Amino acid sequence: MTVTQELANAPAGPHPTTAPRQVLDALEAESIHILREVVAEFDRPAMLFSGGKDSVVMLHLAAKAFWPGRVPFPLLHVDTGHNFPEVLEFRDQTVERLGLRLEVASVQDYIDSGELSERADGTRNPLQTTPLLDAIAGHRFDAVFGGGRRDEDKARAKERILSLRDEFGQWDPRNQRPELWNLYNGRHPVGHHVRAFPISNWTELDIWRYIEREAIALPGIYYAHEREVFTRDGMWRAVGEFSEPTAAEEVVRRTVRYRTVGDMSCTGAVLSDAGTVTDVVAEVAASTLTERGATRADDRISEAAMEDRKKDGYF
């Protein structure tokens, strides 16, 4: 029996299995409130959408917030060119199904034009900042929804739900407004914009419990599957065009899944037999490492890697 079924069958009155339902209801209500407030307060909002689980949940919440109408803003994806093909396919299918507009900012285009250069370590995640900021400026977006959560990283933990960005798209951790009683102040000077984080207060476990409750579809790589992998820096890396082993790195076939999905060159898999959403909920509940800490090499560049990128304009 799933958590959702247990909750549905739970008797009235205090019961330990009622906690997840109450928590998810409160989180859902808060997120929908944030989505509606931003749409009401800003002229040209957009939502980052990569096809990853957090952006999928965020888009699901937006569809609920504005049902029976369509989601009233476009989607934006900064494509590194090194994304997992399964995730890009899922992204495009979702956009088509919901009848939404997708804007894609391509890191590869910037490399081809000479505006950006490949990094020595091969990862392109840090290269997303310039295409992102140019897309925001070019489309004149004054608010951009992102799927960042406070439990992912220390830098994301200190950021407000509405986060001010200056004319250069930069974030100053010392210049943040208080957010008391669910009141959000989106006022900003002309040329500045705001990042909005509707699922900031969710945890990875909350996300998966909500996916189970709402029967939300995800790319298949979030569930256990066999894949050729090799180990590097304590992570299982997929063998692929953008993630190739050296002569000293042994390629093996393992049953793995992905907890987070990003650039193939810096995102690791975890050994797992969790083939269903219920299995994943149980696995995440027992985990002692955050998903980024366990599987993202780009966050290991320095102790403050995420905060440094956010200060420059990254999400």
Residue-level pLDDT at 289: 79
Q: What is residue 9's predicted lDDT score, i.e. its pLDDT? A: 46
Asked if residues 270 and 289 have their Cβ atoms less than 8 Å apart, the reply is no
pLDDT at 204: 94
Per-residue CA distances from 9 to 3, 15, 17, 209, 210 (Å): 10, 11, 10, 17, 17
pLDDT of residue 12: 43
Domain 3-205+304-312 has CATH 3.40.50.620: yes
The pairing of beta strand 75-79 with beta strand 102-106: parallel
The pLDDT value given to residue 68: 95
Q: Which residues of the chain does CATH 3.40.50.620 include?
A: 3-205+304-312
Give pLDDT, residue 89.
Answer: 96
From residue 283, alpha-carbon distances to 28, 93, 233, 234 in Å are 23, 28, 23, 19
pLDDT reported for residue 119: 87
Residue holding tokens 């050729």? 228
CA distances from 14 to 2, 7, 25, 26, 32 (A): 19, 12, 16, 17, 27
- pLDDT score for 315: 64
Q: Which of 221, 258, 8, 266 is nearest to 122 (CA)?
A: 266
Alpha-carbon separation of residue 81 from 99, 118, 232 (angstroms): 24, 12, 21
Res 4: pLDDT: 36
- pLDDT for 21: 82
Omega before 68 within 30 of 0, i.e. cis:
yes
For the chain, which ranges sit under pLDDT 70? 1-19, 156, 292-315
Q: Which residues of 4-30 are buried (b: 16+ CB within 10 A; e: fewer)?
A: beebeeeeeeeeeeeebbebbeebbeb
Q: Which residue reads 């399964």 in tokens?
A: 86
State how far the Cα of 10 lies from the Cα of 13, in Å rounded to an integer: 9
Q: How many CA atoms lie within 13 A of 294 on its CB side?
A: 15
Token digits of residue 203? 């945890």
Residue 307, pLDDT score: 60
User: In 10 A of CB 158, how many CB atoms?
Assistant: 12
Q: Which pLDDT value is given to residue 97?
A: 96
Give the C-alpha separation, 244 to 17, whole Å.
Answer: 45
Taking Cα atoms as reference points, which of 167, 196, 202 lies closest to residue 38? 196
